[in-house]
Structure 1
């Protein structure tokens, strides 16, 4: 997988991700949902923190705006690092599996960083209203945008039996997180690295073994 195919994949993921986010942002009120299937819903939420909605201010003695800024800056450095990793893997002509995985991770990370950096100055608030772009009343500032999430898969939505200790009568929902196309790209890329680890990183190992094989074939 070369540079052109990698770039095409990244652009495709970014387009699908940003088009879906902009559509949701400009057509849904925050918290609004549409049931596609019983196990799949479009649910508009905004994530101002890291994974699972966690915020730095929940763990560190800093204000929420400061935590948001630190997190966005960290994401920018992370995206730059992943971009360099991708460039390096293509330059060294490593395995196609590794290039595919890193391309997906980079596209997903870039998709979410666009929200974090720009959405705060592009859109107005979605609370009890449908947001509009460039309205003159942005909900935040540069680096203070919120990530738009909308894909919700409550595959199991039930209640624990009353006879069960502690959990009895409580709601049980699986799978509960709400995510977006960028998150899917990152998860898919990481999953490829985990499942196809040997194919992703095996090429370099094979190169390292080649001199030993050649030495073994030399006449005594």
Structure 2
């Protein structure tokens, strides 16, 4: 296999391994709700689990959980095929590597939702919970009373608890959005100037 194929998938594999290592450590050494602060009140490990998508979003019920897990598996197959397609057609390397980040994040969370319920003996196959731990409540306070809808309520930025897989997906998507013009630019052939043909005498 050519190096151009190896690098994106090796990058994805390393992220998956790191993501799973962190999750296993958190599950083995922390109880749910426990916090280990490393940036004071603005950055910490906060062990939580969720049944759904990135950053704790969910689809309700067992069928919602099963549907989400199966959708993830199909999406991973599609992303993997897409990366191979991009490589074969010599798309920008940055686009390919960002695709690898998205692939790694998707696989990382699939492992949780597919196998963790069986491994840790709390749910059947495809019904496991995703382990989250990174929490960065950088800014907290109250909305002013005059603020529409949320006036007087507490707010926290950044509220979601996430994992390395979530971060990998987010970075990949954000970089593609930022550099999309660079990744997908097409060179157009120069138009022939009028009267440019040489007339032989």
TM-score by length of 1: 0.80
Match of 1:216 among 166, 180, 192: 192
Report the alpha carbon displacement of residue 166 of structure 1 after superposing the two structures with TM.
Answer: 6.4
| 1:87-128 C-alpha deviation (Å, 9 max, x unpaired) | 1111111111111110111111111111111111011xxxxx
Match of 2:59 among 52, 56, 59: 56
1:124-143 matches, within 5 Å, as 138-143=121-126
SS in 2 for 1:216: coil
Match of 1:188 among 163, 171, 193: 171
Moved over 6 A (4+): 162-166
Report the alpha carbon displacement of residue 165 of structure 1 after superposing the two structures with TM.
Answer: 7.5
| Equivalent residues of 1:119, 1:145 under 8 A apart | yes
Report the alpha carbon displacement of residue 29 of structure 1 after superposing the two structures with TM.
Answer: 0.8
Q: Match of 1:70?
A: 67
- Asked if 1:99 corresponds to 2:96, the answer is yes
Report the alpha carbon displacement of residue 170 of structure 1 after superposing the two structures with TM.
Answer: 2.7
SS in 2 for 1:11: helix
Q: CA RMSD in A?
A: 2.1
Match of 2:7 among 5, 8, 16: 5
1:106-121 matches, within 5 Å, as 106-121=103-118
Q: Distance in 2 between matches of 1:71 and 1:166?
A: 31
Q: Distance in 2 between matches of 1:41 and 1:167?
A: 26
Report the alpha carbon displacement of residue 52 of structure 1 after superposing the two structures with TM.
Answer: 4.3
Count of residue pairs brought into register by the alignment: 193
1:136-155 matches, within 5 Å, as 138-155=121-138
1:166-177 matches, within 5 Å, as 167=150, 169-177=152-160
Q: Match of 1:81?
A: 78
Q: Match of 1:41?
A: 44
| Equivalent residues of 1:121, 1:142 under 8 A apart | yes
Report the alpha carbon displacement of residue 76 of structure 1 after superposing the two structures with TM.
Answer: 0.7
Q: Distance in 1 between matches of 2:183 and 2:124?
A: 40
Q: Distance in 1 between matches of 2:91 and 2:151?
A: 52
SS in 2 for 1:151: strand
Q: Distance in 2 between matches of 1:25 and 1:99?
A: 32
Q: Which runs of 5+ in 2 are unaligned?
A: none
TM-score by length of 2: 0.87
